[in-house]
Amino acid sequence: MTSKRPTFTDKEALDFHSHPTPGKLSVTPTKPMATQRDLSLAYSPGVAVPVKAIAADKDLAYEYTSKGNMVAVISNGTAILGLGDLGAMASKPVMEGKSVLFKRFADVDSVDVEVFSNDTEELITTIRNIGETWGGINLEDIASPECFIIESRLREELDIPVFHDDQHGTAIIAAAGLINACNITGRELQDVKVAISGAGAAGLSCAGLIRHLGVRPENILMCDSRGVVYEGRTEKMDQFKSAFAVKTEKRTLTEAMDGADVFLGLSIAGAVTKEMVASMAPNPIIFAMANPDPEITPEEIKQVRDDAIIATGRSDYPNQVNNVLGFPYIFRGALDVRARSINEEMKVAAAQALAELAREDVPDEVAAAYHGSRPQFGRDYIIPTPFDPRLISFVPPFVAQAAIDTGVARKEIPDMDEYRRSLARRLDPTASFVQSVQAAVREKKARIVFAEGEEPSVVRAAFSFKNQGLGEPVLIGREEQVTRTMQQMGVPEGSLEIVNARLSDRNPEYTDYLYDRLKRQGFLRRDAQRLVNQDRNVFGSCMLKFGDADGMITGVTRNYDVALKDVQTVLDPIPGRQVIGMSMVINRGKTIFIADTSITELPVAEDLVGIACESASSVKALGFTPRVAFVSYSTFGNPMGERAEKVREAVAMLDARDDIDFEYEGDISVDVAMNPGHKLVYPFSRLTDAANVLVMPAIHSAAIATKILTSMSRATVIGPILLGFEKPVQIASLGATVNDIVNLATFAAFDIDMLGHIPAAK
C-alpha cells in the first residue's frame, strides 16, 4: 500500500522545532506587570497574603495560584512513541507536544517534566514529592509493566488525578467506537466476543475498560507475542496479564479471531491476515490501531469482508482512534471539579460522551473539515473528528458529573448548563480552522499551479504541499532551472510536475483565447502570444480558465498589484460578485476577518456594500456565522465627520434591501464592535455578539490594522485571501514564507468547491 500519511524532510521537522524560538512552549503572564503597584501585588509584599492563606488551608492554592488549571506531563523516556527507550531528554519534544495539545484543545496549561531515572521506586518517589504542585499529572511514554506500578502507586499516594495516557487514552476512544459499532450492528456489549492483539499498556487498559462497560471477562481473549493469555499459562506472564487469563482451549491469535465479533489491535503491523478476518463473525468490528501502520490495512480487510466496521489509528482512514479526543477533555472536567483522581467511572463517562457526540448532527465546522460533505453517524463515522468544536463543551461535563457522583470531586458544579456554556467560551472553534481546511483539501487532490516555480521558497512550498497530501502541485518554469533549484533544496528529482510555458502544447489555444479577449484593447496577436509564452501568471491563469488546473498561487516575486493585474488579464469576477481581499486573523483561539485588504483603495458606499456581502458570503461558506461591522473612527455618528459619512451611507443602503441574511452594524469603532458587551451601552445594536468581520473604510486602514496585529501580538494572519474570481487564485506577499505559500495554496485548493460556488451577493 502506498502511504497517504503526510511526510516531510528531517530539516523541515528540525526547523519547525527550532524556529523562530526553540521548542513549542513559553510562559505568558496572566496579570499586568506595568507598574510598581503591579509588581508589589505580584511579588513582595503582596504575595505574602496568599502565602499565609495557603499555609492555613492548602486547598486555597486552587484559588490563588495556577494549580487548578495546570497539568504536568511526565516521562522518563523508556517508551517514546514507537521509538523505544531513548532516554528522558529525548522525550522532551514529545512531552512539549503533549502540553501544546492540552492548551490547544482544552485550554489546560501544562508543563513537561522529564525524570532521569529508570528505577521504578525512584521515579515514584520523585513524582510523589513534586506532584501536588499541579492540579493533575499525565504520565506518558513509560514502559510496561512499570507504567502500571507507577500509576497505581501514585494514584494511592497523591490527592490529584494521575493518568497514564498510553494506557487509558486509546482505551477510552476505542471504547467509544465500540459502543457505536455495536449500536450499528445490533449487538449488546455483554454478548460480544473480543480478540485483542497486544498485551501492553494500551491493550490491557482497553480490555479493562470494555470489561467495565459490560463485556463479559470470559469473552475477552487477550493475545501477546506468545499467543492467548489463558489460565495456567506461565510463559511471559505478570500480574497484569494474569488478570485477563481465561479458561479456553484457544492458543493463537488466529484461533482467537475465529468467530470473534470484535478485534482490537494494539500490537504491530502485519499481525493479522486476511484469512483471520474472513474467519470472524458477520459484521465484524475491526479496530486495527497499531501505529504508524495497522495490523491489517482497511484495503486488505475489504478484499475479504464487505460487512466490516473498521477503525485505525491513522488520520487518512475513517474512524481514527486519536487520543487527542480524550485526554484534554478528561483533564478539563477533572480540573474543573478539582478531582482527587480519574477513576473508571470518569473514563466510562468520557467514552459514552464521545459515542453520543458521534451520533449527533455535525456542525458546519465539521462539514468544512470534510470539504462540505456532512458526515453522518454510520459505519464510516463512529468516532467524532478532532475538529468538532463541540468536544470542549460536550465531554468535560460528563467527566465532571461522574467525578461528583463518585465522590472524588472537591468542588460541585451548581449549574451544568452554564458550565457547558463557559466551556464553549474557553476555546473559539475557529482556532482549528487551518487544520480543518487542510483536512478538507486532502480529499480533493486538487491540481494547484505554483506560478513562480523556479523560486527556492516556492519549490519547498510545493514539495511540502504535496507531502502533506494537500494536492498535486504544478511548477511553472524552465525544467533545467527548476531541477537545479530542487537539487539545492534537497527535493527529490522527479517528485514535482514541471510545465514550461514557452514549450507547452496548450499555447495555441491559450493564445487564441487571450487575443480574442484583448484585441479591442490595442493588443496584437503577437502580444497575446508573448504574454502566454513569457508571463507565468498569465499562463497559469489560462490553465485555470481551460480546466487544466484547479487553482493557482503566485505573488512571491512580484508586487501584489502587478500579480493581480496579470490574473485580471485572463480571468473575470464571478457574475454579480466583487473581487476583494480578505485577511483572516487567528489569535488565542479567536478568528476575525478583515476586508478589503488588497483591491479597492478608496471604496465608496457601493463598494463597501459589495465588500460586506462578499465577505459575509465567504465567511458563511467557511463555516462561520458572519457578524459584520462597518468600522470607522466614529461610533453611531459620534463624532460626526465627512469620512465616516460613506460608511453610514453603506449601512443605509443595506437597510434598504430585503435580501440581507447576515448581521451588520455601523458606523462603529473597532473597540466597540469587538466588545461582546457593547450592547450594554448601545442596546439598539443589531450585532448579537462581538463582530468577526470588519469592513474597513479603505485599504490603508485595513493594511495597517493587520500589520499591527502581526507585529505586536501572537496573531497568525492568513491572506489577504482573494475572493470573487471565477477561478481560485491566491496572491502571496513578496518574500512570503514557505508556510505562507502552503497556506494560501491550501486556500486555493479549498476554494474550488467551498468558495467558488457561493450564491452571488446582490
109 a known binding residue?
Answer: no
**Measured distance CA(126)–CA(475) in Å, rounded:** 55
Of 741, 682, 638, 5, the closest CA to residue 315 belongs to: 5
661 carries a ligand binding annotation:
no
- Nearest 5 degrees, angle CA 36-CA 29-CA 74? 140
- Cβ atoms of 72 and 137 closer than 8 Å: yes
Does 81 belong to an annotated binding site?
A: yes
Instruction: List the catalytic residue out of 98, 347, 646, 727.
Output: 98
Is 82 assigned to a binding site?
yes
Q: Return the bridge partners of 230, or none.
A: 246
Residue 448 · residue 551 · CB < 8 Å:
yes
Residues contacting 643, CB < 8 A, separation 6+: 632, 633, 697
Query: Is 140 labelled a binding residue?
Result: yes
Coil, strand or helix at 730? strand
Helix (H, G, I), strand (E, B), or coil: what is residue 211?
Answer: helix
What is the spatial order of strands in the sheet that 309-312 belongs to? 227-228, 220-224, 194-197, 262-265, 285-288, 309-312
- Was 734 annotated as part of a binding site? no
Terminal CA-CA length for the chain:
49
What b-and-e string marks burial along 241-262, b requiring 16 or more CB atoms within 10 Å of the CB? beebbbeeebeebbbbbbebbb
- Within 8 A by CB and 6+ apart from 2, the residues are none
Amino acid at site 670: V
**477 labelled as ligand-binding?**
no
169 is in an annotated binding site: no
637 assigned binding-site residue: no
Cβ neighbour number for residue 361 with a 10 Å cutoff: 10
Was 85 annotated as part of a binding site?
A: yes
Q: How far is CA 705 from CA 108, 601, 647, 731, in A?
A: 30, 15, 18, 19
Three-state secondary structure call for residue 150: helix
The CA-based diameter of the chain, rounded to the nearest angstrom, is 93
Distance CA 147, CA 694 (A): 52
* Grid coordinates of 585: 486573523
Closest alpha carbon to 402 in 337, 329, 358, 355: 337
* Residues 6+ positions from 47 with CB-CB distance below 8 Å: 41
Query: Is the torsion defined by CA of 75, 76, 82, 86 positive or negative?
Result: positive
Q: Classify burial at 403, counting beta carbons within 10 Å of its beta carbon; exposed 0-12, middle 13-18, buried 19 or more.
A: buried
Residue 390 grid coordinates: 463541540
CA dihedral 27, 31, 33, 38 (to 10 degrees): -140
* Distance (Å, whole) CA 729 – CA 564: 9
Q: 276: part of which helix (H) or strand (E)?
A: helix 274-278
98 is known as an active-site residue: yes
Distance of CA 26 to the CA centre of its chain: 20
The response to whether 264 counts as a known ligand-binding position is no
Residue 291, marked binder: yes
* Known binding residues: 80-87, 140-141, 166, 291
Residues at the binding site for NADP(+) are 80-87
Catalytic machinery residues: 98
Residues that constitute the known binding site for a divalent metal cation? 140-141, 166, 291
